[in-house]
């Protein structure tokens, strides 16, 4: 089986990874690839829908890289003490404690803030005399950043500095893990947790500091830092790309855009789900590590291997989605994997969906002639194979 390199950052792959995944999928659901996190560990990618679902919930595909031997010499930070980088029983315990406070009620209580923040950002866009803007910088980034900072009670976060750290974590330069960014974020969040412990508020982070389960268990200081790290980074990066990818798909399909404008009450929820399936914010899952030999799709992945579950590949699988490369806001919900599956299903999915629905509807109502700005040049795609999106989206009205 030939080894395919997915780390080269080639422009054709960045612009259209879906053709790449389709070609792999046509030859089979599981493949050996190059460009993994370490030269010492073989890397495999899973691109078939059913096989990706199995991989995302397989008990022998672990998430805690600290026990994998894959990153020799890399020191873990407090930021690594989070659910995404944990396995049962630790993951079970962390998720239970967080779920006690990160409830659907708390998410719904954020709705007025989301609506108010969206309106303010659109006011600022409308006031531009040039009637043009970068939608990422004007709406898609500041909205979820404001919301997640309010949720965690982070009033004084340097947004530009944080954006730099966050980008270094989720879209690292090939061969660089982004550990420096982890260190900076860990230091900042350690100070934040200490301040919240001394001066608690009504925010989620203060609630997580206070929470105890029936046995008196609570989150340790490092676990609080890890949870704040995960919620800050994952809580805004995915929503940035949900909004920008979704709007880009709508602008590229004017007939469906017109339908959505005409009847958002009926079509909006389905449109957001199709945005997530068609061009979701996370292209591939974070790494998993095979604790034993694992068979997926008739292929044996050897113990010690690194595994990527391709959400983008799965959500364009014709075996699950008829005409998968067609963007169709009328498509019946069929269980896309944009937010993952199983133990590590995104705990913030309800908040991301709410932000996406409010932002898209308000944007289209405010700017009925919104269009991509042809003067903006070709898309600048995010590097790497983790996130799927553009660094800017020039629009005009």
Q: Which residues pair with 296 in a beta bridge?
A: 299
Give CA–CA dist 135/345, Å, rounded. Answer: 28
Burial of 73 (0-12, 13-18, 19+ CB in 10 A): exposed
Compute how many other C-beta atoms are within 10 angstroms of the C-beta atom of residue 27.
11
Question: Which pLDDT belongs to residue 383?
Answer: 81
> If pLDDT is split at 50, 70 and 90, which confidence band does 319 have?
very high
Residue 315: CA count within 13 A, CB half-sphere: 29
Please report, to the nearest 10 degrees, the dihedral formed by the alpha carbons of residues 213, 215, 221, 225 taken in order.
-30
Is the pLDDT confidence value at 114 over 50? yes
What pLDDT, in 10s, does the model give residues 267-317? Answer: 999 999 999 999 999 999 989 999 999 999 999 999 989 999 999 999 999
Q: Where are the domains of the chain?
A: 4-396
Q: How far is CA 246 from CA 76, 99, 357, 374, in A?
A: 35, 28, 10, 18
Look up residue 273 and give its two tokens: 């789900």
4-396, CATH topology level: Cytochrome p450 (1.10.630)
State phi, psi for 43 to the nearest 5 degrees.
Answer: -120, 135
Kind plus residue range of the DSSP H or E element containing 148: helix 142-152
Rounded to a whole number of angstroms, the CA Rg of the chain reads 21
Task: Determine the distance from the C-alpha atom of residue 195 to the mean position of all C-alpha atoms in its chain, rounded to a whole number.
Answer: 28
| pTM exceeds 0.85 | yes
Question: Which pLDDT belongs to residue 110?
Answer: 94
Question: Which pLDDT belongs to residue 174?
Answer: 46
Question: Which pLDDT belongs to residue 267?
Answer: 97
Give CA–CA dist 181/190, Å, rounded. Answer: 14
Look up residue 234 and give its two tokens: 């994952």
Burial readout 229-247 (b: 16 or more C-beta within 10 A, e: otherwise): bbbbbbbbbbbbbbbbbbb
Average pLDDT, the chain: 88
Question: Which pLDDT belongs to residue 176?
Answer: 46
Look up residue 7 and give its two tokens: 């780390």
Helices 254-262 and 221-251: crossing angle in degrees, nearest 10, is 110
């Amino acid at each position: 089986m030939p080894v395919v390199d997915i780390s080269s950052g080639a422009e054709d792959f960045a612009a259209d990874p879906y053709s790449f995944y389709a070609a792999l999928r046509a030859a089979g659901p599981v493949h050996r690839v190059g460009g993994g996190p370490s030269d010492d560990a073989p890397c495999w990618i899973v691109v078939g829908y059913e096989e990706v679902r199995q991989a995302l919930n397989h008990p022998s595909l672990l998430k805690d890289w600290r026990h994998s031997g894959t990153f020799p010499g890399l020191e873990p930070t407090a930021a690594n003490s989070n659910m995404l980088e944990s396995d049962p029983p630790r993951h079970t315990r962390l998720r239970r404690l967080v779920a006690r406070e990160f409830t659907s009620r708390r998410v719904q209580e954020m709705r007025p803030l989301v609506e108010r923040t969206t309106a303010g950002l659109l006011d600022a866009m409308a006031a531009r005399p040039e009637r043009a803007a970068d939608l990422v910088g004007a709406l898609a980034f500041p909205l979820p950043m404001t919301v997640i900072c309010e949720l965690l009670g982070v009033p004084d976060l340097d947004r530009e500095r944080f954006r730099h750290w966050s980008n270094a974590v989720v879209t690292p330069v090939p061969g660089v893990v982004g550990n420096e960014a982890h260190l900076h974020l860990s230091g900042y969040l350690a100070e934040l947790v200490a301040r919240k412990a001394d001066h608690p508020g009504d925010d989620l982070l203060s609630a997580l500091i206070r929470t105890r389960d029936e046995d008196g268990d609570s989150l340790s200081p490092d676990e609080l830092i890890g949870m704040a790290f995960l919620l800050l980074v994952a809580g805004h990066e995915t929503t940035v790309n949900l909004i920008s990818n979704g709007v880009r798909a709508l602008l590229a399909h004017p007939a469906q855009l017109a339908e959505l404008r005409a009847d958002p009450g009926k079509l909006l929820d389905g449109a957001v789900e199709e945005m997530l399936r068609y061009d979701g914010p996370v292209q591939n899952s974070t790494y998993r590590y095979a604790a034993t030999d694992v068979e997926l799709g008739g292929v044996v992945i050897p113990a010690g291997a690194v595994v990527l579950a391709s959400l983008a590949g799965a959500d364009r699988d014709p075996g699950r989605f008829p005409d998968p490369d067609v963007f169709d806001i009328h498509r019946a919900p069929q269980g896309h994997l944009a937010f993952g599956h199983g133990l590590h299903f995104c705990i913030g999915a309800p908040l991301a969906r709410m932000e996406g629905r409010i932002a898209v509807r308000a944007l289209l109502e405010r700017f009925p002639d919104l269009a991509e700005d042809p003067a903006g040049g070709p898309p600048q795609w995010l590097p790497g194979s983790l996130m799927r999106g553009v660094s800017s989206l020039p629009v005009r009205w």
